[in-house]
Homo-oligomer: A and B are copies of this chain.
């Protein structure tokens, strides 16, 4: 719900952007807003937040992952991670387990309810990436993904 009509509004005079219109920071923000709009129109009704599905998804694929490692992967700081995990625990979607091998750490896994939630919304979440749902062609989408990965230093 961040407004798809950000640009080219009715009564507004046209303005000069200068190099801002080719600035990566500016364009990344616009692209992310567009992506959020997609997310909310697909998954907003479920009460899910943009970052929350990624958390559940990685626990889904990697049950028993340590909270700290998950936070580092998603660039979520430890203090915030505690809140995110507690919320999902309160919703009955994940379980915390203190392992014997290192009793300082917390290992996370989904409950049955959490797994069902992920399975129920998987298609909607990843459907955003389909080239049918944004202006890019399939080939452009592949290039876009490759460049986003390279720019972000993401090699996994």
Contacts and interface: CB of A to CB of B under 8 A. Distances in A.
Interface of A: 2-9, 12-36, 38-39, 50-51, 54, 57-58, 61-62, 65-66, 69, 72-73, 75, 125-126, 128-129, 134-136, 140, 143-145, 147-156
Contact of A155 (B5, B8, B34, B147): B8
This chain's copy number in the assembly: 2
Given A15-B62, A15-B69, A73-B7, A35 B25 contact: yes
Interface SS of A by simple majority: helix
A33 to B, nearest CB: 5
Nearest to A146: B140
A1 to B, nearest CB: 11
Nearest to A70: B15
Nearest to A57: B20
Contacts of A32: 25, 28-29, 32
